[in-house]
A and B are shown apart, each in its own frame.
Chain A
Amino acid sequence: EDKVVQSPLSLVVHEGDTVTLNCSYEVTNFRSLLWYKQEKKAPTFLFMLTSSGIEKKSGRLSSILDKKELFSILNITATQTGDSAVYLCAVGIIQGAQKLVFGQGTRLTINP
């Protein structure tokens, strides 16, 4: 069974801290790993990773994939209260068509 596991499930930090969110996976027909941020409504796309060892960066957010050890991390530096959200990791697989298998999400709360 295809599985994506995120940790921690919940994290509370102070503004300015750096956080690392983890995502491990066991799937067949891996195609990509994606990170999304979800506040009140729909998930918004952050990163897509397909190759090991290549860091993707966008402002204070960065992510990297290790296809040998089957995990990815999402780093957020100098956190702000606006970073409070649920962060979803999803793995793209092929099963007839392309689909995403989601982890449970990490609920991140940034306190001022």
Chain B
Amino acid sequence: DTEVTQTPKHLVMGMTNKKSLKCEQHMGHRAMYWYKQKAKKPPELMFVYSYEKLSINESVPSRFSPECPNSSLLNLHLHALQPEDSALYLCASSQDGIRASGGPRGNEQFFGPGTRLTVL
């Protein structure tokens, strides 16, 4: 299995709703990522989990709350979002995070198909 899956494919929510995005991979990867992508822009990193621990939070507002229940799963909990949060949310995984020893030279990230989120 060389795939990253994401659910749902599309999500429409109001500003008072609470929803969650899910991401799953079965490639044995130990690093997982959330990105936000607006139209005609490159992906923008939000969070990095390495060995199931939050390693990077790119100053993301607290209305986005990531969770990594185990090494195969990554969730993004959404609460009180704004219309400007509407975007394509991409999950990615890579073979390894950074180890104390310095880790491998580089690992390609594989992206899921994304969740198209619309906030009304």
Contacts and interface: CB of A to CB of B under 8 A. Distances in A.
B114 A42 contact: yes
B108 A48 contact: yes
A99 B56 contact: yes
Contact of A31 (B43, B105, B110): B105
12 contacts: A32-B105, A34-B108, A42-B113, A48-B107, A88-B43, A92-B106, A96-B55, A98-B48, A99-B56, A100-B109, A104-B42, A105-B42
Contact-residue bracket for chain B: 20 to 34
Interface in A56-112: 88, 90, 92, 94-100, 102-105
Contact of B113 (A41, A88, A94): A41
Interface stretch (B12-20, B65-73, B77-85, B90-98): B90-98
A50 interface: yes
